[in-house]
Structure 1
Amino acid sequence: MSILYKNDEGWFISHEQFITKLYNTISEQNNLDLFYKHFFHINQPFNRDNQNICNDDESNNCLLISKKRKRKKTFIEEDELHCKIRLFISKVKNETKIFSQISNKNDNNLCARLASNKFYNKTIKKKICFGENKNSTLYISNQYIFPPLCKFYCDDIDNLNKLNNEKYDLILMDPPWTNKYIKRKKKKIYDEGYSMILDTDLEKLPIGQILAPDGLISVWCTNSQNHINSLINNFFPAWDVSYVATWYWIKVTVNGEYVCKFTQPPGKQPYERIIFGRKRNINSVIKNPEDNKFIVSIPSSVHSHKPPLTDVLSSFLPETPNCLELFARYLLPNWTSFGLETLKFQHLFLYQQSILTDVQCLQIKENLL
């Protein structure tokens, strides 16, 4: 299990621990400093000079400072959310010993950023292909590692017809939403900027055809109000699903700080949304996710490397669900993964002795990243 803490309001999960438990059997020495672990060396917030600052991270009062004119309605809604997030994080800190008490050097997460940079330089895009591991154990082939009982389509999302209208109890997706920041980043590092998709093209995906009766859909969504509105008001009806709930993924450092400051919308936030819909079924017996739950974790330094939700979603699914991830970037046991980068995090070097050392992480200069 990746769940380290839970209460009525949400969970603290460990992405790193999930990976470790899944892949540590490829090495007899489980204490090796494997390469992927560097992704989670998030020791301090990522600060931006032009960020609108929320003064008091630990208080229940949020004072926002901005040069832009406030959007009153959105400000009030977001302010209430920020305060609830603070209260939840305070509970995690008070009731657990999850967070490190050691002060880390002020290097702006240099080791994690260096690991991310080397990851992009070493990984290659796989050509269109299909594969599966029918075994109940890990399988290694051609410098890739495959978890048990997984299936993948390394293919464009427009080719969902290859699923042959199979029905899924859960469809999870992390769409490449249109984003100005990613457009700028793509100009600098091509592979780090994924191909974005228009909202109109997302709406046309045949989700309703492959979602099982009473099936659940879970969508990672940006904090853009336009994207949120499009998903709930346009996509869900087109996919024959009804809106159920919104959760929030809160990103923190190993010390329990937010990875960035809370800001006034539409500024960057230390959280993302997960929005749920359920296929319409008046005879449903499976409970729906409750609204406004929190998932807290230390994020990966690699863009769009989302934490797995397998453990926290199990109570909202049948006992042995058929699960599908779209726009997938890694494989999961008992899941089908579909997307152009399904094998992105399956390269074997990620699960071997690290090619980085602490000395290298400290010696490398920021302007080389």
Structure 2
Amino acid sequence: MSILYQDDDAFVVSHKKYIDSVYEEIGYQIHPDLFNIPVPYKLLQPKKQTDINATPCKSFEELCREVQFVEDTYKKLKDKSILNTFCSECEEQLNTVALQFLKYLRSNKNWIENLVKNAFGANIGKVTVKTIDENNYLFPEDSKFYSKDINEIHNHLDAKYDLIILDPPWWNKFIHRKRKATGDGYQMMYNNDIKSIPIENMLNENGIVVVWCTNSTQHFSCLTKEIFPKWQVTFTGKWFWLKVTSCGEPVCQFSVPPRKQPFEKIIFGFKKPPKEFPSKLIISIPSIIDSHKPPLVEILKPYLPEKPHCLELFARYLLPGWTSYGNEVLKLQHESIYVNKPQL
């Protein structure tokens, strides 16, 4: 069970415990070093706050309200000692262990270079390990994947889904400069490219769209005012994922927008919005791997039918009973990021 605590304002979840529960039957656990984050990150804040000057006053005020909501909700839980449900005693002073493991992964050619490309597959049955091109991958129960480009999605998916989750590679100037200078970084998409994904043809009549969004006001505005209407869903609300260390502290300090925040937004669009859908906080220790988002499977159960038909786009891992679609859909299924516990 990944939900360690919940109330009207927040969920405290364990990404690691959920993944471990998925593969417990075959003796695998996700590598614990991925979540060994004892201290906040040291981040360089921008010297010039040009985004503030370019942001309309109302948008800036809304960003400030979001920061205040997340910070206030976090403080309430901390005051109640709720975060002790997963916090450990932090003796280390640096995130060295997690960073060393990430360095190992980036030097592991099997993990970096042997991505399964232009393929389709499914595991109809119990959780298992399968070998593809001499590499081992973990497959959860009754999972399906498409290792395909998002622009080809209309050629591969013709089913209807109760829930579609997207983690798009939003356009980002920093990543663009990084790619130009070093060749590193991920391939990004413009807002219109994301808008062109035919979500409206893939949702059931009571369907829900959930989008991981950056803290950019431009991305949020385009998503809610242009993309959601095209997808035929109504913007219903936003939740926030607060990333904390294993000692329960935010991974970076709260600050005045548009500076870096310790949280990300989760935006909801409903075909048939509920009467009430208040903002909530999801708190967890993040993985050291970029864009390794915590599964929302258990949290979203109250909004879904008993046996929902679910799809994740831009996926980098698989989930039991889900369809996953993306260029790197098996990246986080590779055995390199797991440990095999011998069966007793």
**So what's the TM-score if we normalise by structure 2?**
0.88
CA RMSD of aligned residues (A): 2.5
2:127 matches 1:137: yes
Match of 1:55 in 2: none
Contact 1:324 1:337 in 2 (8 A): yes
Deviations 1:32-59 (A, max 9, x none): xx6622111111111224368xxxxxxx
Deviations 1:241-276 (A, max 9, x none): 111111111111111111111222221111110001
Match of 2:266 in 1: 274
Greater Cα shift, 135-144 or 7-16 = 135-144
Contact 2:26 2:127 in 1 (8 A): no
2:297 matches 1:310: yes
Match of 2:337 in 1: 350
Q: 1:300 is matched with which residue: 287, 297, 306? A: 287
Match of 2:9 in 1: 9
2:73 matches 1:88: yes
- Structure 2 Cα separation of the partners of residues 41 and 244 of structure 1: 35
Match of 2:96 in 1: 110
Greater Cα shift, 69-78 or 198-207 = 69-78
Greater Cα shift, 246-255 or 160-169 = 160-169
Match of 2:35 in 1: 40
Residues 67 and 103 of structure 1, relative CA distance in 2, 3 Å threshold: farther
Match of 1:174 in 2: 167
- Structure 1 Cα separation of the partners of residues 277 and 37 of structure 2: 30
Tell me the amino acid that sits aligned with residue 164 of structure 2: I
- Size of the aligned set, in residue pairs, is 330
Tell me the amino acid that sits aligned with residue 99 of structure 2: R
Match of 2:191 in 1: 199
- Structure 2 Cα separation of the partners of residues 177 and 318 of structure 1: 30
Partner of 1:345: helix, strand, or coil? helix
| Unaligned residue ranges in structure 1 (runs of 5+) | 53-64, 355-369
- Structure 1 Cα separation of the partners of residues 269 and 201 of structure 2: 15
Match of 2:234 in 1: 242
Tell me the amino acid that sits aligned with residue 81 of structure 1: E
Contact 1:5 1:13 in 2 (8 A): yes
Match of 2:20 in 1: 20
2:335 matches 1:341: no
- Structure 1 Cα separation of the partners of residues 229 and 10 of structure 2: 28
1:202-217 correspondence runs (5 A): 202-217=194-209
2:139 matches 1:156: no
- Structure 2 Cα separation of the partners of residues 298 and 215 of structure 1: 29
Residues 114 and 182 of structure 1, relative CA distance in 2, 3 Å threshold: farther
Partner of 1:312: helix, strand, or coil? coil
Partner of 1:235: helix, strand, or coil? helix
- TM-superposed CA distance for 1:139, in Å, is 3.7
Tell me the amino acid that sits aligned with residue 229 of structure 2: P
- Structure 2 Cα separation of the partners of residues 278 and 163 of structure 1: 24
- Structure 2 Cα separation of the partners of residues 269 and 263 of structure 1: 6
Residues 337 and 69 of structure 1, relative CA distance in 2, 3 Å threshold: closer
Contact 1:324 1:336 in 2 (8 A): yes
Match of 1:128 in 2: 118
Partner of 1:182: helix, strand, or coil? helix
- Structure 1 Cα separation of the partners of residues 130 and 322 of structure 2: 18
- TM-superposed CA distance for 1:104, in Å, is 3.3
Contact 2:90 2:246 in 1 (8 A): no
- Structure 1 Cα separation of the partners of residues 255 and 191 of structure 2: 25
Contact 2:45 2:260 in 1 (8 A): no
Tell me the amino acid that sits aligned with residue 9 of structure 1: D
- TM-superposed CA distance for 1:330, in Å, is 0.2
Residues 347 and 101 of structure 1, relative CA distance in 2, 3 Å threshold: closer
- TM-superposed CA distance for 1:215, in Å, is 0.4
Tell me the amino acid that sits aligned with residue 101 of structure 2: A
